[in-house]
Chain A
């Protein structure tokens, strides 16, 4: 299993921390975090992570806007994006899927199975 790099973009520092710790403990991945769409975009461009976990509801630049920007950039277009969101309504899910995300993981998540959920979405072994 190759070493993976993940970028977590969420405006909540607590969540960033929990996600980072969970993934580090369970999957041994390198987890980078950003506190918003702009910072996340910059980090994605510079590090080109294997996948991005993106929060939907964020101030300034929300998840879908960040996703659009990522999709427009050649360097980031192919990076799979997973929404990690508290918006769990079926209608929202459908709308998000149409935006071109790989998957949606609802908040709150189980820290012990979060890594596995990500792997399931991305078909990582």
Chain B
């Protein structure tokens, strides 16, 4: 408390006032005392000097005359001055002359001291020289008591102390009153500040009453209050901000909550998608595992990276066993007959190299135990999202059973056909002989019945033939032997075959010649034309015309057979190509058709990669049209069946003209070359060869020397006449050895000679491929081989 008091503003102010006033009083008292003392001393000295002067003057005579009495009397006069405690007159020699010693205890000194005042032993002594006419007569000694002066000094001190004490009291009382004017506002201020800081209540104000006198404290209070107001205002604003902030925060929180919910929803969705993906992955795995087809994933290094259980089971090897070699070496190394299969011809290799899909239907895969099985397989490049090739997928199917079933079916049809035909042969023969009348005459009705029996036997035979035909073409058993076919030639041949039938029916056959080099099987095209023309004649009334026309399009040639018969109802135009489809139920009986003719036509045209359709021929009759690919388009019907066939589509692939009149050999040669992705053209005659060269400018010509029309020498000389053809590389592939004398006559571009009997088909293929490579590097020269 004391310490607090001591440090309180009131204590400090009181202290300051008291110290200040006390110091002032003390200094004043000290001043007065010193001044009084000095005055006392001065007066003492002045009194002593005056007395000494008077006594000195009065004693000159006594000294001059040595009158001691007179000197004593002079000294005795000092009795008037009680402060003089001793006095004496000394001769010039310093001997005491007269004495004044009122107090017996105090005597004058025996020896003189220097002139002037000396203070000692509570007395002030004066040695005064006595002169007369500038002649020193002696010395006067006077001593005055200074104790009086000291008493006075003590009195002064006591008075001063009293004054100080009193003034201290007064100052305290005054200070206590005065300091309140200063300290109260400050204390108030402090109190308010404390309250404010304690309660954080900024609406409080320090006493405004105290702040009205305009001094610094009031300024301070005003400032303090202003500050409080400011704080309060800020507080208010702060509160406002806080409220706003809270609102904003609430708003943001709501937004965040919403966003959070959305995130949660998104997360849930993502999780669901992930779940679905996982499900899909599981399903995919399940599908892969459950698939009955073998599925192999092949990397860019041609090594298998994935195989499904069906593949494992079919190939009889595990993935690790399969991985040891490239896929081709592991399962595709040989043909069914065991001859090696070069990897470069493998469909998978081609799929990888060309980035194209290939489908193969007639090859074999090999198991680990060395056995093989027939497969259909497809190889498809595996691409990522950016189209980069990652490898390939091979999907294969063991077709052993299917092949067996197909064989059985084919054998069955063939056998049934034969077995039906055999009794029919007897029936037909017997009926024919009966009907001929050679075995004796039969009545008219009997004759008529025999004719019915014969015609129906013939119909039954046709039906059997057609069923056999349809089965064989439909199942692909009958190979479509493609070669360049002249459209007009087949049209003329078909018309010739049907002329007699048309004559019988009284129907005119007209033909508008049209040019077109087809790519197909001429026998089958003629069969189709014959069928359509036969139908047209059958369904045409006498004196009408059946017209055969043709037109070459961009890729296909379209044949059109138009008649003026009764036509086909629109609703039957599409179904007419179905088996046993007849416009009228009585047709087959009346017209002797099997109901399979158009179905066979459709099979043949489809096998060629063409299209067949029927339309009404206004104003009467119908029009049957079908298309066959043109030789220069090479869009073969088997385009995805083998790598070679697909290569036909590739316009950049080299093309080779095979000039060979032996159709079987030509087929073997073209098939072999096509397996290398080489496009082939085929000519059986020399003139045809020259024409095809002009049309297609092949990269290489394979030439047989013996041809039906002109020989190989003539073909070469004809080609030499055309600058564009004179430098085509040539491989003379002949049964004959060409003598060195004849060789120059056969030179075209780079020319080589092969003798058929001395080389295998593999040698032939090797030569062709090497020549094609040479052709691209544009080397010329001649070389005799074999």
Contacts and interface: CB of A to CB of B under 8 A. Distances in A.
Contact of A109 (B418, B428, B438): B428
A18 B428 CA distance: 9
B292 to A, nearest CB: 33
Interface in B401-439: 414, 417-418, 421-430, 432-433, 436, 438-439
- Which of A12, A107, A112: most chain B CB closer than 10 A? A107
A64 B438 CA distance: 34
A57 interface: yes
B106 interface: no
A25 B438 contact: yes
A74 to B, nearest CB: 28
A108 B465 contact: no
A108 B418 contact: no
A18 B461 contact: no
Contact of A107 (B421, B436, B468, B523): B421
A96 to B, nearest CB: 14
Interface stretch (A34-42, A43-51, A65-73, A83-91): A83-91
Contacts of B251: none
Interface in B467-502: 468, 472, 478-479
A110 B428 contact: yes
Range for the number of chain A residues in contact with chain B: 20 to 34
A79 interface: no
A6 B457 CA distance: 27
A89 B472 contact: yes
A101 interface: no
Contact of A89 (B424, B433, B439, B468): B468
Given A18-B433, A108-B457, A12 B428 contact: no
Interface residues of B, number: 26
Given A108-B425, A109-B425, A22 B472 contact: no
A87 B425 CA distance: 12
Contacts of B436: 25, 111-112
Contacts of B417: 86
A15 B426 contact: yes
B433 A108 contact: no
A12 B427 CA distance: 12
Given A88-B465, A89-B468, A111-B433, A12 B438 contact: no
Contacts, number: 71
Nearest to A88: B465
A104 interface: no
Contacts of B523: 90
Contacts of A18: 425-426, 429-430, 433
A111 B418 contact: no
Given A86-B417, A88-B465, A111 B422 contact: no
A111 B429 contact: yes
Contacts of A86: 417-418, 421-422, 425
- Which of A86, A88, A109: most chain B CB closer than 10 A? A86
A14 interface: yes
A104 to B, nearest CB: 14
A93 to B, nearest CB: 11
A110 B421 contact: no
A56 to B, nearest CB: 9
A21 interface: yes
Interface string B509-529: 000000000000001000000
Contacts of A17: 426
A72 to B, nearest CB: 25
- Which of A17, A89, A111: most chain B CB closer than 10 A? A111
A19 interface: yes
A54 B436 CA distance: 25
Given A25-B433, A86-B418, A89-B472, A108 B428 contact: yes
B424 A108 contact: yes
A119 B478 CA distance: 31
A87 B461 CA distance: 12
A90 B465 CA distance: 12
B438 to A, nearest CB: 5
A57 B411 CA distance: 13
B668 to A, nearest CB: 14
A108 B478 contact: no
Contacts of A12: 422, 425-426
Contacts of B433: 18, 21-22, 25, 111-112
Contacts of A87: 414, 418
A57 B457 CA distance: 21
Nearest to B460: A108
Contacts of B465: 88
Contacts of A21: 429, 433, 439
Nearest to A114: B429
B418 A89 contact: no
A91 B479 CA distance: 9
A101 to B, nearest CB: 17
A54 to B, nearest CB: 14
A99 to B, nearest CB: 14
Given A86-B417, A89-B468, A107-B421, A15 B478 contact: no
A15 B433 CA distance: 13
A20 B145 CA distance: 212
A109 B433 CA distance: 11
A19 B430 CA distance: 9
A108 B421 contact: yes
B468 A108 contact: no
Given A89-B468, A90-B523, A112-B432, A107 B425 contact: yes
Contacts of A88: 465, 468
Contacts of A57: 418
Contacts of A109: 425, 428-429
Interface in B441-469: 457, 461, 465, 468
Interface string A89-106: 111000000000000000
Contacts of B472: 89
- Which of A18, A22, A87, A91: most chain B CB closer than 10 A? A18
A21 B434 CA distance: 11
A19 B438 contact: no
A21 B418 CA distance: 22
A92 to B, nearest CB: 9
A90 B480 CA distance: 11
B664 to A, nearest CB: 8
A89 B468 CA distance: 9
A42 B69 CA distance: 233
Nearest to B418: A86
B429 A108 contact: yes
B200 to A, nearest CB: 114
A109 B428 CA distance: 7
A15 B422 contact: yes
A15 B429 contact: yes
25 contacts: A12-B422, A14-B423, A14-B430, A15-B422, A15-B426, A18-B426, A18-B433, A21-B439, A22-B429, A22-B433, A25-B436, A26-B438, A57-B418, A89-B472, A89-B478, A90-B478, A107-B422, A108-B425, A108-B457, A110-B428, A110-B432, A111-B428, A111-B432, A112-B432, A112-B436
Given A12-B425, A89-B478, A107-B421, 16 more contacts: A12-B426, A15-B422, A15-B429, A17-B426, A18-B426, A22-B429, A25-B433, A26-B438, A86-B421, A86-B422, A89-B472, A108-B461, A109-B429, A111-B430, A112-B432, A112-B436
Interface of B: 414, 417-418, 421-430, 432-433, 436, 438-439, 457, 461, 465, 468, 472, 478-479, 523
Nearest 9 CB-CB pairings of A with B: A18-B429, A86-B421, A14-B426, A108-B428, A108-B425, A111-B432, A107-B425, A111-B429, A86-B418
